[in-house]
Amino acid sequence: MPAKNNSIHFDISERKVLLRIIDIAVVLAMLYLVSQIFNFDYFKINAIHWVWSIVLALYLTVFATIFELYNLQKAGKFETTIQNIILTTSVTVLFYLLTPFFTPELPENRLQIVYFYIAINLSLIIWRYFYVTFVSAARFNKRVLLIADGSEINHIIASLEASDPNYKVVGYVKSGENNYSGQKRVSLLEFKNSKLLELVEEHDISEVVVAAPAYEGITLPLYNQLMNMLESGVSIREYTQVYEDINKRVPVQQIDQDFYKFFPFSRNNQNKLYLFFHRALDLILSVVGISLGLFLIPLIFIGNLIGNKGPLFYTQERVGKNGVPFKIYKLRSMIVGAEDAGAQFAQKGDVRVTIFGRFLRNTRLDEVPQFLNVIRGEMSIIGPRPERPVFVKELSEKIPFYEVRHLVKPGVTGWAQVNADYGVTDADALRKLQFDLYYIKHRSFFLDISIIVKTLSTIIFYRGQ
């Protein structure tokens, strides 16, 4: 008999799709309502002007992504959501007004633009309030049973719940010989091996996550229990795959010698069509970036004279694809002689960074010269951040599979840069490696576009490093 599980939950991907679809739906519905009530002729939803709705939906989706309306951690906080809605709506309306070839011409009665702006804001605020109050509520949590070694339980629970606030581990089954260690969570239940299916049904468990290899604690009785749950319709997944799906990074520290299970990496690493478009994107964005840099060079030159007082450019050796070293170009952001005492990682709030250099770093303008490296084929727009040989040697000795990140060209921006916080510890390097390996494993045209959009968000929110 299939397990009777009446709980409702949404995966991360499902909630992001839900947000995007309903964002567009409520905005179009509100605009249609406003057009009927106020005889609003600037924006009409009908068969003749269907392109208008598509363009608006496209702008809304892109700018909502840039301004983090689909960041689930922030989408669950109403005050933060309101700020991001106003930013999204303001830029969306501005772009919509400035593209009259694809959108309606400006109305004679300019008050209609105000109605247009308010209607979009109001519809999104009402819907997102409903989302925060109901959809993000505990009733929609994914309730999980964890099977793991006792010493790993707290770490695993923290790693899962940190990335998905709606992913709740209800209970655990201890595998192996180690008991639960650390401070036990009050709400966490210990399930016994016997009658697991009945307990799963009783506690509305949506998914069972197994974080123990078959040779470490999955006894025959427990294996039979898992088979019973699987046959009854209970979702059973392996921890490293769940971790990767939720965090969008590869858990290197968990897979250890079993890394071969994660090969082959993305087929796009050998796909000539993808590589052609990837290179075309590199060249197009590099030309745009260099043009922007040339336009800003007078201001950068003056800022360097006042706030940097020294050479404007500097070069440094970095490790590229297949471990081949190359010279990287950057705008100098540190004091002259910053590394007279030897190579060292830049730190958050580094005193060696000049006043103007901090501006260059936060806006990421210091990386504009790297577009020359991209044109020369030494780098790509998107890829793992190129590191210095001394640090590569050091980290390769401490972190397993660190040199795997050199399978592709290093990038000006990348999956690790837009997701990982600033840090200089070995743990920070491991976290960035996890993101880099995820990109190498899953790289695609859509993931590249996602990284570019997230990079724009980083620049807009002044979060460059």
Give the chain's domains with CATH numbers: 12-135 (no CATH), 141-247 (3.40.50.10700), 267-460 (no CATH)
> Which residue is it, tokens 């639960």?
180
Here the tokens at position 456 are 């724009």
Average pLDDT over the chain, rounded to whole? 82
pLDDT tier, 198 (very low <50, low <70, confident <90, very high otherwise): confident
Q: Three-state SS for 242?
A: helix
The whole-angstrom separation of Cα 277 and Cα 328 is 24
The residue-averaged pLDDT of 362-372 equals 90
Per-residue burial over 289-321, b = 16 or more CB atoms within 10 Å of its CB, e = otherwise: bbeebeeeeeebeebbeeebeeeeebeeebbbb
Whether residue 457 has pLDDT greater than 70: yes
120-124, 134-138, 259-263: range with lowest mean pLDDT: 259-263
- How do 189-190 and 167-175 pair as beta strands? parallel
The residue-averaged pLDDT of 270-287 equals 92
Here the tokens at position 251 are 């858990």
137-146, 279-288, 292-301: range with lowest mean pLDDT: 137-146
The residue-averaged pLDDT of 445-450 equals 89
Whether residue 35 has pLDDT greater than 50: yes
Here the tokens at position 194 are 């016997």
C-beta neighbour count of 99 within 10 angstroms: 11
Whether residue 401 has pLDDT greater than 50: yes
Q: Three-state SS for 413?
A: strand
Closest of 151, 157, 191 to residue 171, by C-alpha = 191
Here the tokens at position 284 are 């197009």
Residue that wins the pLDDT comparison between 464 and 441: 441
The whole-angstrom separation of Cα 353 and Cα 350 is 6
| Helices within 131-232 (DSSP H only) | 153-163, 196-202, 220-231
Looking at residue 250, what is its pLDDT? 83
Looking at residue 1, what is its pLDDT? 43
70-74, 194-198, 215-219, 413-417: range with lowest mean pLDDT: 215-219
Residue at 404: amino acid letter: V
The whole-angstrom separation of Cα 72 and Cα 41 is 36
Residue that wins the pLDDT comparison between 136 and 175: 175
The whole-angstrom separation of Cα 269 and Cα 437 is 13
Residue that wins the pLDDT comparison between 455 and 49: 455
Looking at residue 120, what is its pLDDT? 94
Looking at residue 359, what is its pLDDT? 87
Looking at residue 216, what is its pLDDT? 62
- How do 207-210 and 142-149 pair as beta strands? parallel
The whole-angstrom separation of Cα 401 and Cα 412 is 22
The answer to whether residues 66 and 460 touch, using CB atoms and an 8 Å cutoff, is: yes
Looking at residue 383, what is its pLDDT? 94
2-6, 78-82, 248-252: range with lowest mean pLDDT: 2-6
pLDDT tier, 239 (very low <50, low <70, confident <90, very high otherwise): confident
pLDDT digits (tens, 9 = 90+) for 38-62: 777 777 777 777 888 899 999 999 9
Looking at residue 118, what is its pLDDT? 92
pLDDT tier, 3 (very low <50, low <70, confident <90, very high otherwise): very low
The residue-averaged pLDDT of 271-276 equals 89
Looking at residue 442, what is its pLDDT? 87
The residue-averaged pLDDT of 412-420 equals 90
Whether residue 36 has pLDDT greater than 60: yes
pLDDT tier, 2 (very low <50, low <70, confident <90, very high otherwise): very low
The residue-averaged pLDDT of 290-316 equals 88
The DSSP 8-state label assigned to residue 177 in this structure reads S
Rounded to whole angstroms, the maximal C-alpha distance in the chain is 77
The whole-angstrom separation of Cα 330 and Cα 63 is 29
Whether residue 82 has pLDDT greater than 80: yes
Whether residue 269 has pLDDT greater than 80: no
Looking at residue 133, what is its pLDDT? 84
DSSP 120-157: HHHHHHHHHHHIIIIITSGGGPEEEEEEEEGGGHHHHH
Here the tokens at position 131 are 């989302």
Whether residue 162 has pLDDT greater than 80: no
Whether residue 124 has pLDDT greater than 90: yes
Whether residue 114 has pLDDT greater than 70: yes
